Amino acid sequence: MTSFDVTRRQLLAATAVTGGALAGGQFLSGTTPPAAAQGAATAPVPLNVVLRVNETEHRLTLDPRTTLLDAVREHLHLTGSKKGCGLGQCGACTVLMDGKRVKSCLSLAALVEGREITTIEGLARGEQLHPLQAAFIERDAFQCGYCTSGQIMAGVACIAEGHAGSPQEIRDWMSGNLCRCGAYDHIVTAIQDAAREAGSVRGG
């Protein structure tokens, strides 16, 4: 075995552990990795978090970086809320927080302790669908369905806010929820139906 063989094996081993050729070079040269590199490899201390979701309290131990979306999907197995962009741009992850719509991919779970979170799974009352859920079915307001839970949660808030007075107003206030299938006409009609039923059409 040549000294070149040993050096090459050491380099490959170091790269597999640290993920970078630079670290391999440091290993070979015997220098101490910079503090930043050491910090990146250290997992943050988990946090105990109490989340109220759909009127039920859940005690979770989470990485402090866990988003509300990942907490409900991965930890509570409530997979109705969808991850589309993960950047606050598509609305697929929309849930209600104390009755107001939020994009759960942008909220950290640890920061919403004590808030009442409602996901699509918490909207129906037993077997009875929420009027907007029923209207979506009645009006065929979805195709692939990926955006639908976010559309419905945002629509519930849109009606409660009094922003369902006309098709254009609904379009304006639902503009944060994208539908790649282009089911917008049917979504707007379903929201109008539910708003009418709720008697909450206030205009403006």
Residue 202 is a binding residue for ligand FES (CB under 6 A)? no
Residue 80 is a binding residue for ligand FES (CB under 6 A)? no
Number of neighbours of residue 56 by Cβ within 10 angstroms: 10
- Which residue among 26, 143, 166, 200 contacts ligand FES (CB under 6 A)? 143
Can you state the angle between helices 131-138 and 148-160, rounded to 10 degrees? Answer: 130
Residue 147 is a binding residue for ligand FES (CB under 6 A)? yes
Number of neighbours of residue 164 by Cβ within 10 angstroms: 26
Q: Minimum Å distance from CB 38 to ligand FES?
A: 32
Q: Minimum Å distance from CB 95 to ligand FES?
A: 10
- Which residue among 145, 172, 185, 202 contacts ligand FES (CB under 6 A)? 145
Q: List all residues 6 or more positions away from 103 whose beta carbon is below 8 Å from its beta carbon.
A: 88, 91, 93, 94, 176
Q: Minimum Å distance from CB 49 to ligand FES?
A: 20
Exposure pattern of 94-128 as b/e (b: 16+ CB <10 Å)?
A: bbbbeeebbbbbebbbbebeebebbbbbbbeeeee
Distance separating alpha carbons of residues 86 and 67, to the nearest angstrom:
10
- Which residue among 24, 84, 122, 131 contacts ligand FES (CB under 6 A)? 84
- Among 139, 147, 122, which residue's Cα sits nearest to residue 191? 139
- Which residue among 13, 50, 137, 144 contacts ligand FES (CB under 6 A)? 144
Binding to ligand FES in span 89-118, by CB under 6 A: 89-93, 103, 105
What residue ranges bind ligand FES (CB under 6 A)? 83-86, 88-93, 103, 105, 142-148, 179-181, 183
